[in-house]
Amino acid sequence: MDTVPFWVQLIALACLILLSAFFAMAETALMAANRHRLRHLAKRGSRTAQTTLWLLDRTDKVLSLVLIANTLINALATALVTAIAISTFGNDEKVITIATAVVAFLLIVFAEISPKIIGATFPERIALPASIVLKPLMTLGKPVIWFVNLFVTVLLRLVRIKRGTIRDHRLSPEELRSMVLEGGQFIPKKHQSILLNLFDLESISVEDVMTPRAQVEALNLSVPIEEIKRQLTTCYHNKLPVHEGEINQIVGILHVRKAVGLLNEEDELTTDHFRALLTPPYFIPQDTDVLTQLQYFQENHERLGIIVDEYGEVQGLVTLEDIIEEMIGEFTTSTPGAARADHFGWDAQGECLLEGSTTLREINKHLALQLPLDGPKTINGLLLEYLQDIPEASVCLKINGCVIEIVQVKNQSIKVVKLIQAAARNTLPLRA
């Protein structure tokens, strides 16, 4: 080392530290890189992204290359500093110890911690260009990597650890949901809401989005023809379920526009004229999940379905528009549904008046509550289940932290309730 100038030795040491820093930074960046973004770039023709993905598919070999390189570089750096210390200050143990401590400090700060933080902060920016260097190095170092891994394989077998297991990088629905939530700064709020609603479609049934039986507008062919005419001229929907007698006897679906054309004819109308216009009804089991039903609507070219329970009793109806609204929000409409209290919230006193037929899902969504959804679908049904009785007005109870006061009871059902926020609770007589 005496023949090598001191400044050349320092430059060599700096180069070793920079080289070690490169491997540490490249390793961290590769491990932190977003595979989905890399696949997107690769599909768009990025050669560096393709190379990076190639390296990530051989993680064990990349790690072996980096560790072998860093170990050799660190050993050379330590040896070089020791040689510099001896040539400069002589064979003094204290000087050699201090020189070793100094090089260890330099390696920790400049070749380990700092580059790894940088690699984790800018993974794609560093991993893409670094892959261009790492891939040829892997080819050159293949014999050394194979030789080292030979001993590693033997050691792993001795401790009964299997290697070579392919990681499953597919994301679960919950992981996808988390990605959408965390990507809020990149995804418009409306688009984020639509994506989150799509994830929920498989977890809810058509019963959650249907128009309940009591609110279904249907045409009864057993009533006088004048009543049928009046209903057709005042109905709000383009298609009506048609039944004879009680609503469980659905005989078909009537296209209202076609039926209105009959009203202008001079011939005397009979129910047979309307029966001739009926299309077969489309029935749906009440437990069908919404996503599956959306596919069924597409496959069967249907837009309206009658929901029935296990006994064949009509529970309500669901339309294609109902499912679309569940995904993207409600449309502007002039139907009676527009007058419903679909948009509600807490008032200044922390209270909210609701109809008993309001669904629990809507209440949880608009009021940020946690009312149970695994039983009845409406607030009326939930209260009747809890009380096991037809209550009187002014009875209060608390469910999952929300105080609910029964305001009006009529015809064996709860018509109006008042919800009271936890912060706005006053001294009300509660019934558990």
Q: How confident is the chain (432 residues) per 10-residue block, as mean pLDDT?
A: 70 87 88 84 88 86 87 87 81 82 87 89 88 88 85 82 58 70 69 76 83 86 87 85 89 87 72 88 90 89 90 90 81 49 74 86 83 84 86 83 87 87 55 42
Strand order through the sheet with 314-319: 211-212, 314-319, 304-308, 283-285
Q: Give the model's pLDDT for residue 232.
A: 85
Task: Please tell me the predicted confidence (pLDDT) of residue 186.
Answer: 65
**Angle at alpha carbon of residue 302, lines to 225 and 240, rounded to 5°:** 20
Contact 306, 241 (CB under 8 A): yes
For β-strands 283-285 and 304-308, DSSP reports them as: parallel
> Residue 313's closest CA among 390, 235, 207?
207
pLDDT for the residue 171 = 64
| Unique residue bearing structure tokens 């690699």 | 119
Indicate the Cα dihedral angle 159, 164, 165, 167, nearest 10°. 130
235/237 Cα distance (integer angstroms): 6
pLDDT at residue 368 in the model: 81
Q: Crossing angle for the helix pair 93-108 and 6-32, nearest 10 degrees?
A: 40
The DSSP code for 376 is -
Residue 156 CA to residue 173 CA, distance in Å, equals 34
Q: Which residues contact 325 (CB under 8 A, 6 or more apart)?
A: 209, 331
- For residue 212, what are the β-bridge partners? 316
Classify burial at 183, counting beta carbons within 10 Å of its beta carbon; exposed 0-12, middle 13-18, buried 19 or more. exposed
Distance CA 395, CA 416 (A): 12
Handedness of CA 182, 185, 187, 188 (dihedral sign): positive
Task: Please list, in sequence order, all residues whose beta carbon lies within 8 angstroms of the beta carbon of residue 14, skipping any fewer than 6 positions away.
Answer: none
Q: What is the pLDDT of residue 355?
A: 87
3-state helix, strand, coil in the chain (%, to 5): 55, 15, 30
User: DSSP string spanning 310-327?
Assistant: TT--EEEEEEHHHHHHHH
Task: State the pLDDT at residue 280.
Answer: 92
- Provide the terminal-to-terminal Cα distance of the chain, rounded to the nearest Å: 88
Q: Which amino acid is at 390?
A: I
CA gap 288, 330 in Å, rounded? 22
| Nearest-angstrom CA–CA distance, 153 and 167 | 18
| Residue 11 structure tokens | 């430059």
Q: Residue 202 in 3-state DSSP?
A: helix
**277 with 284: CB under 8 angstroms?**
no
Domains of the chain listed by start with CATH number: 6-158 (no CATH), 171-203 (no CATH), 205-331 (3.10.580.10), 351-424 (3.30.465.10)
CA distance 222 to 274: 12
The whole-number pLDDT of residue 424 equals 54
Contact yes or no for 251/281 (Cβ under 8 A):
yes
Q: Which residues contact 6 (CB under 8 A, 6 or more apart)?
A: 84, 88
pLDDT for 185 equals: 64
What values do phi and psi take at 261, rounded to 5?
-60, -30
